[in-house]
Amino acid sequence: MAKIDAARRAEIGREKRARTRAQILEAGTMLLAEKPPEALTVDAIVEAAGVAKGTFYYHFQNIEELAAAVGSKLGESFDDLLTAARLELPDPIARLSFAFTQFLEKATSDPAWARLVLQSAQAPTEFARGIRAHLKADLTEAIDQGRLSVRDVELAADIVLGIWLQVVRGSLERRTVSDLSDLALGAVLRALGASQPRMEIVSDRVGRSSRTTT
Amino acid sequence: MAKIDAARRAEIGREKRARTRAQILEAGTMLLAEKPPEALTVDAIVEAAGVAKGTFYYHFQNIEELAAAVGSKLGESFDDLLTAARLELPDPIARLSFAFTQFLEKATSDPAWARLVLQSAQAPTEFARGIRAHLKADLTEAIDQGRLSVRDVELAADIVLGIWLQVVRGSLERRTVSDLSDLALGAVLRALGASQPRMEIVSDRVGRSSRTTT
DNA sequence: TTTCCTATTGACTATATAGTCGAATTGACT
DNA sequence: AGTCAATTCGACTATATAGTCAATAGGAAA
């Protein structure tokens, strides 16, 4: 009868709810960067988030669901690093090189993010499969153009991902060289047997500077 | 007074003790291939080993100590794959290539071993550091000989390990190509910018056949 | 102020896990 | 057969963790 409406009520708490959920998500993100989900406890999460235990279960069914939400957020952060320039690069090898470099520089500048990515790369989650699918699309296109001496797309993806992941691990454990991105990318392209893309394009967009191209 | 002697007594139970310990070690090995040590429970271990809980604590202080023992055993399995031929190869690149191929073929023929190695590669355990140290020794020698275009030994090690680990992951998740070892090794050598080692030596010893060289 | 829905709390029960310890078993030796 | 030390067993305590739920707080609308 009254205008008191479920939709309105739901809207009321939304901001508070969203804030609390974000706290839990952030705590989960931090903890999942340190240890695998199987080793994570609800008590640890709620303590880190500064909320009561019941609150966790009000927002998530279980830890698995939280981990999925963290994975999803991580996937978005990957997209964010690409969306601006990805479509402007018609060359698959240039695209791949750009992505490789972007991700690597993000990893060296944000160790917590890097740790989370490494943990997430362990199990083939939705997030990990998405990344690999994108990569394979670029690689397939390059192979179809006869640009790679590696013909098997799965092997090619393993090469790119393998070098990337291990270089990121190295950057967390050791002091990182200044031109790590260029060196690692060079290794990847040699490994793939990539015929040179037009380097001026790649280095224009991929170079260490973050200015947008004109 | 009697000849009953502690040393003798200790010897008596040794065989039984060794057998039980081996059971626990094997169960731990199997479980550590599936999940990280933080997610492992003593109850799961003793159930898998078919022994009582107290027995576990009679042989190991805690799970960490078991994990260390498993890691040590794993390290030995690596050595076993090399000791025969390693010293006969004076060329560091040939040595590295031989090891890479041996390990990769072991991984494809023994998935449980592969899974364990991948899990162990997560944390920089004693085992992982030993492998990396050996690898770096070969790489340093090759770099000193001016044989690699990659000059940074840490980056070079990351490239080799990264490709190896990811190719092994791939071999567990997908059907594996017949000449995976050769293709992956080729990618590694290109990535390192290795000037060709004398290929007849490498392929003699590294080829798919497991016959011992004459 | 009062109402009333949403979000939050933390105590509570269940179960799982770590780690201990006295009793039982084993097997070589006498 | 008996002895005895080493080994194994499993019940037991204590703690940790998962998951539930009735009570409370908060704040917008009446």
pLDDT of residue B154: 98
Residue B16 carries which side chain, given as an amino acid letter? K
Q: What is the pLDDT of residues B38-54, one digit of tens each?
A: 999 999 999 999 999 99
CATH of domain A2-60: 1.10.10.60
Query: Mean pLDDT, to the nearest integer, of A6-20?
Result: 61
Query: Which residues have CB atoms below 7 Å from chain D, the nucleic strand?
Result: A 2-4, 8, 12-13, 16, 40-44, 53-54, 57, 62-63; B 4, 6, 9-10, 12-14, 16-17, 19-21, 51-55, 57-59
**Residue B14 clears pLDDT 90, i.e. is over it:** no
**Residue B62 clears pLDDT 70, i.e. is over it:** yes
Who among B36, B39, B163 is closest to A159 (CB)?
B163
Q: What is the pLDDT of residues A50-103, one digit of tens each?
A: 999 999 999 999 999 999 999 999 999 999 998 877 668 899 999 999 999 999
CA–CA separation, A199 vs A164, rounded Å? Answer: 20
Tell me the pLDDT of chain A averaged across its residues.
87
Of B206, B93, B100, the residue nearest B148 (C-alpha): B93
CA–CA separation, A34 vs A172, rounded Å? Answer: 12
Query: Mean pLDDT, to the nearest integer, of A15-29?
Result: 89
Residue extent(s) of CATH 1.10.357.10 domains in chain A? 70-213
Residue extent(s) of CATH 1.10.10.60 domains in chain A? 2-60
Contact A36, B39 (CB under 8 A): yes
Question: Domain B70-213, what architecture?
Answer: Orthogonal Bundle (1.10)
CA–CA separation, B61 vs B71, rounded Å? Answer: 16
B36 to chain A, any CB pair closer than 8 A? The answer is yes
**Residue A9 clears pLDDT 70, i.e. is over it:** no
Interface test with A, best of B155, B165, B173, B182 (most A CBs within 10 A): B155
> Which of A11-25, A55-69, A81-95, A165-179 has the lowest average pLDDT?
A11-25
pLDDT of residue B89: 87
